[in-house]
Chain A
Amino acid sequence: MEFITFAESALNLLGFVVGLILGIFAYIGFRNTGSPTLFRLNISFFSISIGFGVVGFGYMLESFVLGYVKIDTWIQTLGIGIQTVGYFFIAFSHGIKSFFPKSRYFKSIVAPLFIIPANSIEHIIRSISFILLVYGTIETIMSYMENRNRNTIFVAAGLGLLALGEFLGWYSIVFPKSVLYFVSVSTKIVGLGALFVPISQVPLRGGPRFGNNI
Chain B
Amino acid sequence: MAITYRTHMSIIGDILSTTRDEIPDESGASVTYLIRKANVSYARLSKILETLVSQGLLEQTSSERACKYRISERGREFLQAYRGFREFADSFGLRI
Which residues in A have some Cβ–Cβ distance to B below 8 Å? 25-26, 29, 32-35, 37-38, 41, 90, 93-94, 139-140, 142-144, 147, 149, 151-152, 154-156, 197-199, 201-203, 205, 207-208, 210, 213-214
Contact = CB atoms under 8 A, between A and B. Distances in A.
Interface of B: 7-9, 12, 51-52, 55, 74, 77-78, 80-82, 84-85, 87-96
Contacts of B55: 210, 213-214
Given A207-B80, A210-B78, A213-B51, A93 B87 contact: no
13 contacts: A29-B84, A32-B82, A33-B78, A33-B82, A90-B92, A152-B91, A155-B91, A201-B91, A202-B84, A202-B85, A207-B77, A207-B81, A214-B55
A207 B75 CA distance: 10
Given A35-B89, A41-B92, A143-B94, 7 more contacts: A34-B9, A152-B93, A198-B91, A203-B84, A213-B55, A214-B8, A214-B51
Given A33-B9, A35-B85, A214-B51, A94 B93 contact: yes
B30 to A, nearest CB: 22
A199 B89 CA distance: 10
Contacts of B85: 29, 32-33, 35, 38, 202
A139 B96 CA distance: 16
Contacts of B93: 94, 139-140, 142-144, 147, 152, 155-156
Main secondary structure of the interface of A (DSSP, over half): helix
A139 B85 CA distance: 19
B77 to A, nearest CB: 5
